[in-house]
Amino acid sequence: MDAARSEPYYLPAGDEVALFEQCHRRQLAVMLKGPTGCGKTRFVEFMAWRLGRPLVTISCHDDLTASDLVGRFLVRQDATVWQDGPLTRAVREGALCYLDEVVEARQDTVVVLHPLTDHRRVLPIEKTGELLPAAPGFQLVISYNPGYQRMLKDLKPSTRQRFVALDFTFPPPEREAVIVAHEGGTDAGHARALVELAQRLRALQDRGLAEVPSTRLLVAAARLIASGIEPRSACYSAIVSPLSDEPALLSAMHDLVEATFP
């Protein structure tokens, strides 16, 4: 861990910082629930900095196996050696281990986490026969987007009930504008306009928009505007186009951009 790393920018929305600190102190695993791009990953980065712990981040996907998490034997020259996976390294080092969008992983992979989320706090490494106890400071954190992913797959109840859940959503408009201005490097006026656009676009969710514009997309648009790109062009490229390919929705979103940035 780099002891000199700078503080990640995070603007608390409620009591999530105090809750996370108590979970860390009480050795409780944490589940972050909320839409894409609402600040879950940044929150974990901030908490790792605040707690002075290393952070190991794992982006979950359909092909993620238990061996990808735990480790595997590798053949090197004339020897077969064991190489720890990221989960095992986090357990040994007492790091925060963050599994981003955990339901994207296969269920048989997620089960590997169970012994780390209760009183045992151990990681069985079947291939080596090791029963690895979690070092002090280790904490397991997962995130997922229940609104989108529940339509496709979800966490099993036996997994969900092993975590303390913190609910995340998009910040109130005035707070989101502060974030967009800071992270996007743009002025307050453009930041407020981008948030106003986001509010209008988010109302399209009932009209078939699978995912609404995230704070992350607003920051991307703000950075383009700050670099000199015309605001409407920045919004089309950074916000509208990533959200949908459906002609009717694209037309509706273009109209909202033009109404916000005449």
pTM of the model: 0.91
Task: Single out the residue of 85, 147, 93 nearest to residue 113, CA to CA.
Answer: 85
Displacement of CA 168 from its chain's centroid (Å) = 10
HEC sequence for 112-138:
HHHHHCCCCCEEEECCCCEEEECCCCC
* Burial of residue 119 (number of CB atoms within 10 Å: 0-12, 13-18, 19+): exposed
Alpha-carbon gap, residue 24 to 107, rounded angstroms: 25
Q: What is the pLDDT of residues 72-125, one digit of tens each?
A: 999 988 889 999 999 999 999 999 999 999 988 888 889 999 999 999 999 999
Alpha-carbon gap, residue 161 to 112, rounded angstroms: 15
Whether the per-residue pLDDT at 1 is higher than 60: the answer is no
The residues spanned by each domain of the chain are 16-167, 173-260
Alpha-carbon gap, residue 234 to 222, rounded angstroms: 8
Q: What percent of the chain has pLDDT over 70?
A: 96
Structure tokens at 17: 């910082």
> What's the pLDDT score for residue 155?
83
Q: What is the pLDDT of residues 184-215, one digit of tens each?
A: 999 999 999 999 999 999 999 878 888 899 99
Whether the per-residue pLDDT at 250 is higher than 50: the answer is yes
Please say whether the dihedral angle defined by the alpha carbons of residues 68, 72, 75 and 81, taken in this order, is positive or negative: positive
* Burial of residue 24 (number of CB atoms within 10 Å: 0-12, 13-18, 19+): buried
Q: Which residue has the higher pLDDT, 209 or 228?
A: 228
Beta-carbon contacts of 262 under 8 Å, excluding residues fewer than 6 positions away, are none
Task: Tabulate helix, strand, coil % of the chain (nearest 5).
Answer: 50, 15, 35
Q: Are 231 and 192 in contact (CB under 8 A)?
A: no
Q: What is the pLDDT of residues 143-157, one digit of tens each?
A: 988 875 555 577 888
Task: Single out the residue of 24, 10, 18, 170 nearest to residue 97, CA to CA.
Answer: 24
Which of these ranges, 125-129, 131-135, 143-147, 162-166, has the smallest mean pLDDT? 143-147
Alpha-carbon gap, residue 219 to 181, rounded angstroms: 8
Query: What SS3 state is found at 98?
Result: strand
Across the chain, mean pLDDT equals: 93
Q: Are 91 and 134 in contact (CB under 8 A)?
A: yes
CATH architecture of 16-167: 3-Layer(aba) Sandwich (3.40)
